[in-house]
Amino acid sequence: MKMFLLFLSCGVVAYADINDTLTTVREKYKLPALAGAIVTDQGMAAIGAAGAPTNALWHLGSNTKAMTATLIGLLVEQGKLKWETPVGEVFPNALEPLQNVTLVHLLSHRGGLPANDKWTNSKRPIREQRRQVALRARPEIPPGEKYVYSNLGYVIAGAMAEQVMDASWEELMRTRLFAPLGMKSVGFGSHDGKPDNPPVLGPAGRIHCTLEDWARFVADWLRGLCGEPSLLPTNFYQNAMTPPFGGNYALGWIVCERKWGGGKVLTHNGSNTLNYSLAWVAPKRKFAVLVCANRGDAEAAKACDEAAAALIRVAETFCSGNGRFSE
């Protein structure tokens, strides 16, 4: 069955098939399955899949990070945390070098922390595992000095949320973020019995869901970036477009310039080494593209890049000069 996309703007309807594109890319790179979607500020505009049903579950890897950052934003908005809250305020027994590292440092990969801890599977309660990670973590360089991509930093940010809310990161994500957005398919870790990173890594990259549910999250970001009604005030989303510390990373997104996006766009990829996901978000054009594959090697990354580029071209075809989809 072919999947079609339907763009609606000012009463205009246009159709375009994306399954052929996904099938071609999937066969070229010999992937088990490949799926893609085009999203607007109004929600899902297109979805297609090759080798899997369109309602399949996909592991998002580090595209979890933007979701964790959004949860932190919700807690900041509710007065439970501040962007400048230091680790030491939440965990007074944290090592001295970590005491003054703030949430904004952690969510911008500016905490001076290494990429990873010595992750292990443990039978201890998950909140206790993350608390122990926060207590033993030691920055390698002064906070704010240098960008160092750190899964460890996001785990500590998740642990801070757990500590102040007296609830697990998983529970907070379900109740504070996924339920309001209607994301009913979301789970944590492997969805198909394959190995995954230990549960302690959740805030950095263990979410899986359908493309439709991922699109719900990204559509909220598009609305927020465009000043439309969204979960959080517009300034939260806009902060991702102007990263702190002079870098190009904030709130789970990489910021870069793309002509097709009309200027600044957001992007991120994710992988647990067995799966791969990719997102591109163009606020000025009011569309985003999402791609997922159930393989995580370099060829899968190339395939997702190629599929995303093709979906961007489709979206551009139907995007008028004022940033709205039209014929």
Express each pLDDT in 191-239 by its tens digit.
887 788 899 999 999 999 999 999 999 999 999 999 999 999 999 999 9
Is residue 190 very low, low, confident or very high in pLDDT (cuts 50, 70, 90)?
confident
pLDDT of residue 14: 37
Give the domain ranges of the chain: 16-320
Say what the pTM is: 0.93
Those residues with Cβ within 8 angstroms of residue 268's Cβ, 6 or more apart along the chain or in another chain? 62, 63, 65, 66, 252, 253, 254, 278, 279
User: Which of 26-35, 38-47, 71-80, 187-196 has the lowest average pLDDT?
Assistant: 187-196
Is residue 298 very low, low, confident or very high in pLDDT (cuts 50, 70, 90)?
very high
Q: Which residues, listed in sequence order, are joined to residue 293 by a DSSP beta bridge?
A: 34, 276
pLDDT of residue 319: 62
C-beta of residue 320 within 8 angstroms of C-beta of residue 326: yes
Q: What is the mean pLDDT of residues 242-253?
A: 92
Q: How far apart are the first and last CA of the chain?
A: 24
pLDDT in tens, 250-296: 999 999 999 999 999 999 999 999 999 999 999 999 999 999 999 99
Q: What is the rounded average pLDDT for all residues in the chain?
A: 92
How far apart (Å, rounded) are the C-alpha atoms in residues 220 and 222?
Answer: 5
Tally Cβ neighbours within 10 Å of residue 116. Answer: 14
pLDDT of residue 320: 52
pLDDT in tens, 107-130: 999 999 999 988 777 889 999 999
Rounded to the nearest 10 degrees, what angle do helices 126-136 and 151-165 cross at? Answer: 120
Residue 61 has pLDDT above 90, yes or no: yes
The CATH number that domain 16-320 falls under is 3.40.710.10
pLDDT in tens, 38-59: 999 999 999 999 999 999 999 9
Give the residue among 16, 57, 52, 18 at the shortest CA–CA distance from 194.
Answer: 57
